[in-house]
Amino acid sequence: MGELRVVVSGSGRMGRQVAAAVGDADGLAAVAFVDGLAQEGEIDGLPLFNDANRCFGAVAPDVVIDFTNMAWTPALAEAAMGRGVRMVIGTTGLSSDFTAWLEAAAAQHKTGAVVAANFAIGAVLMMHFARQASRFFDNAEIIELHHDQKVDSPSGTAKTTAELMRAAKGHDFRHPNSEKEPLPGARGAEYGGVAIHSVRLPGLVAHQEVIFGGLGQTLTIRHDTTGRESFMPGVIAAARAVMELDHLVVGLDALFGLG
């Protein structure tokens, strides 16, 4: 098989990083950008289109990798699925209606697609290990630490981690409240008995600790993101894997078989 021809959807921070990572990856070649909000032209020597159908018709890609906005991804997916272009989607905030549509379209066209809210392999493993540890401990707390520009607290990853831990345990964790709380909120937010504490400081990127406590011992699982390149190995692995798929896979954990 020749090189995988990759179109990068989105020319923002992630899109440009993806194009560079694809350019560095063995057996993959970036052939164009498509960005619905951009003026057509060139970025780093690659053609930039603002219409997905025209882009796919012109460069005949094998895969499109999308890091944009939920307002754009459905139109991109319609163009891609109709032409048998496999999809790797990192855009967040997608509706469940869209995901259901994509699942049906991928099956109908026998065209692989991967949607993942987190392409950082370390973060995916952190959640997987936290899920595994949950059945052995009755107490657990999460500390997530992010830069001070982050819009949401707690982070989506922290909330998802707590949900996965609660589901793996089958019932709530023990959540000891303090008898006195002179400053309300000191015990953090809580999901399924798991306290979640959000730290926001300049100088941080994205970090999370899951701390389990038991008799005479604690277990800490920690993941640190130090840069946007943390997502790239997961994106490249998904672009290779999607070539072997004829249906939709949601989440890197499912793609890697982390049951």
Residues serving a catalytic function are 146, 150
Task: Give the nearer residue to ligand NAD in terms of CB position, either 38 or 204.
Answer: 38
Here's the x/- map for ligand NAD, 83-122, by CB under 6 A: it reads as: -------xxx-----------------------xxxx---
Q: How far is the CB of 61 from ligand NAD (least distance, A)?
A: 17
- Rule CB under 6 A: say whether 222 interacts with ligand NAD: no
Q: Closest CB to ligand NAD among 72 and 137? A: 72
Transcribe 172-228 into DSSP letters.
PPP-PPPS--SSTTTT-EEETTEEEEEEE-TT--EEEEEEEEETTEEEEEEEEE-SG
* Residue 36-55 contact track with ligand NAD, rule CB under 6 A, x = bound: xxx-----------------
Could you say whether residue 71 binds ligand NAD (CB under 6 A)?
yes
Q: Which of 5, 31, 68, 126 binds ligand NAD (CB under 6 A)?
A: 68
b (16+ CB within 10 A) / e for 29-54: ebbbbbbbebeeeebeebbbbbebbe
Interaction of residue 231 with ligand NAD, rule CB under 6 A:
yes
Q: Is 1 helix (H, G, I), strand (E, B) or coil?
A: coil
DSSP 40-97: SEEETTEEEES-HHHHHHHH--SEEEE-S-TTTHHHHHHHHHHHT-EEEE--S---HH
> Which residue's CB comes closest to ligand NAD?
12
- Residues 167-206 touching ligand NAD, rule: CB under 6 A, are none
| Residue whose tokens read 């003026």 | 39
- 72 near ligand NAD, rule: CB under 6 A: yes
CB 18 within 8 A of CB 232: yes
Residue ranges that bind ligand NAD, judged by CB under 6 A: 10-15, 35-38, 67-69, 71-72, 90-92, 116-119, 231
